[in-house]
Amino acid sequence: MKAYVWKQSGNSYKLRVMLALLQVPHEEIMVDFPGGEHKQPAFLKLNPRGQVPVLVDGDLVLWDSSAALVYLARKYGGEQWLPTPPAEMAQVMNWVAFSGNEMLFGLQHARRGVMRNVWTLGNLEQCQAAGRIALDVLEQRLKKNDWLALGRPTIAEVACYAYAETAPEGKIALDPYPATVAWLARCKALPQWPARWKY
Residue ranges and CATH numbers for the domains of the chain are 2-76 (3.40.30.10), 86-188 (1.20.1050.10)
List the end-to-end C-alpha distance of the chain, in Å, as a whole number: 25
CA dist 134 → 41, 77, 85, 108, 137 (Å): 36, 28, 27, 11, 5
Is the pLDDT at 173 greater than 90? The verdict is: yes
**Tens-place pLDDT, residues 11-57:** 999 999 999 999 999 999 999 988 999 999 999 999 999 999 999 99
pLDDT of res. 197? 86
User: Is the confidence at residue 199, as pLDDT, over 70?
Assistant: no
Distance CA 67, CA 134 (A): 21
DSSP conformation class of 167: G
What pLDDT does 185 receive? 98
Percent of the chain with pLDDT over 70: 99
pTM of the model as a whole:
0.94
- Assign 132 a pLDDT band (cuts: 50, 70, 90): very high
Residue (of 197, 198, 199, 185) closest to 17 by Cα position: 197
pLDDT digits (tens, 9 = 90+) for 53-109: 999 999 999 999 999 999 999 999 999 999 999 999 999 999 999 999 889 888 988
